[in-house]
């Protein structure tokens, strides 16, 4: 969350909305990379056959696209001086994004789990259940700062939000951690 929050704050100061969007998407890709690497490290310890590169790439692509979709309206819109949506409505919107992103991300990651995990479809369910509350945490943290906050304070808020969101994700998906494929021992040749 730190990279994404800092990118969003720095992007606010850019003259080009497209450059700002690029910076925000880059921050999302950094966050997706961090998530993919962290999750694949935990999973690789349990699943020796995990294709870590495929897992990380799937996570980065889905997280980056998800971050771009969530960020684009705010970055590309013009400030017309109207009221911003209520914070509660934005946080509820985060839960809705989690309802969509959870199964999409879980499905992409499950493809990388095939052959290493006994039931990779369980990972789709785990992400479907986990991402709505995780996105509530992320949107609550993302909507906390206002224009008066310093970039450092925004980055620190992003760091705390990231730790809390990561903890929620870890706790909610822990019960669904994939089990390794049970390989049958080789049979000795018949005599």
Share of the chain residues as helix, strand and coil, in percent rounded to the nearest 5: 75, 0, 25
**Mean pLDDT over residues 67-80, rounded?**
66
* Cα-to-chain-centroid distance, residue 43: 16
What tens digit of pLDDT does each residue of 106-143 get? 999 999 999 999 999 999 999 999 999 999 999 899 88
- CA-to-CA dists, residue 116 to 42, 45, 59, 90, 178, angstroms: 14, 11, 17, 38, 9
User: What angle, 0 to 180 degrees and rounded to 10, lies between the N-to-C axes of helices 52-76 and 87-113?
Assistant: 160
pLDDT over 80 (residue 2): no
Residue 179's pLDDT band (cuts 50, 70, 90): confident
Average pLDDT over residues 51-73: 84
Comparing 34 with 188, the larger pLDDT belongs to 34
pLDDT of residue 66: 75
């Amino acid at each position: 969350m730190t990279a994404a929050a800092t990118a969003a704050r720095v992007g606010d100061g850019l003259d080009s909305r497209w450059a700002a969007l690029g910076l925000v998407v880059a921050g999302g890709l950094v966050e997706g990379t961090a998530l993919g690497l962290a999750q694949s490290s935990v999973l690789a310890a349990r699943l020796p056959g995990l294709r870590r590169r495929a897992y990380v790439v799937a996570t980065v692509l889905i997280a980056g696209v998800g971050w771009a979709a969530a960020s684009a309206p705010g970055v590309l819109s013009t400030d017309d001086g109207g009221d911003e949506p209520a914070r509660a409505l934005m946080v509820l919107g985060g839960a809705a994004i989690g309802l969509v992103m959870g199964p999409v991300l879980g499905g992409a990651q499950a493809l990388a789990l095939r052959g290493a995990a006994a039931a990779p479809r369980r990972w789709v369910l785990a992400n479907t259940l986990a991402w709505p509350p995780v996105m509530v945490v992320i949107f609550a943290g993302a909507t906390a700062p206002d224009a008066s906050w310093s970039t450092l304070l925004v980055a620190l808020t992003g760091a705390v939000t990231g730790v809390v969101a990561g903890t929620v994700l870890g706790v909610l998906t822990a019960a669904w951690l994939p089990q390794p494929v049970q390989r049958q021992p080789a049979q000795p040749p018949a005599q």
